[in-house]
Structure 1
Amino acid sequence: MNVLETDWWAMALPPEWWGEVDEDEDTVLVGDQDDVGCIEISTLHKADGHFDQAELLRIAGNESEAEQQWQQVELGDFRGWRAAFAEGDAAVREWYVANGSLLLFITYSCDLDNRGMDDGAVDELLDSLTTNR
């Protein structure tokens, strides 16, 4: 098992998955060798205070491009909201999760024909999220 680590958080990656950190954009891309889909993780920081669940849900509702049925989720050290939808010929899953003043916006997308194929593996990866504070 490999560990993908940023300045703010870390995640375990099985050998068949890869990760790239773009520190200029505070964005991370994660995918598997089969190229079924891709995870993108953006890191945001709150200048003062902490994110609460009501604020996260408000952000998710305002930022998401499609109207969602949001469900609460726990990913490792992070808590927040998730939704899934189809957009054109893509299946998309989104998460807005936070720990203290750190918010992660996570998307996973793949071809609509591959919907659900990597869901278990993606969930397992995201469940390994830890903070580096």
Structure 2
Amino acid sequence: MRSETTSTTRSPQDLGQHIRVLTHALQGIAGSIGMAPAFVDAPQFFYNYMYGDWHPYMEASEPATEDLKARNQNVLHLVNYLESLLPKEAHRKVEEYIDAVNNRYTAELDYAYMVGFQTAFRMMLLGITDPELLMAKFQPTADS
């Protein structure tokens, strides 16, 4: 499913070339730090990303592990138990509480994703940039 905001100004051939260049760059970076340049799924990732088909929140919050599935089931059982203790009129407040908690978790996930992305980008820059160049601005000069 393509995003409605996807730009269609690039031809499929241009996009394919762009993806090959990005994949080649990643393989070069991996090779330069001694990693095996085996980015098998990178072309598909770039294709999905460029067409708006990559949804990191959905990917991160999908109950993909048995542990997460069990935790979700536990939450559902607790909600059902709480609702059984409360009068019907109070069930809406339980839903509002759950919505408020989920909104907080969504904000936390968004922030954690941003920090993780920034950290990964900084680590990548440190790996491909001479540390002396990065630290040069922090070195004392003769007139300081």
TM-score (norm 2): 0.21
TM-score (norm 1): 0.22
Task: Report the structure, 1 or 2, having the larger helix content.
Answer: 2
Compare CA radii of gyration and give the structure with the larger one: 2
Task: Report the structure, 1 or 2, having the larger strand content.
Answer: 1
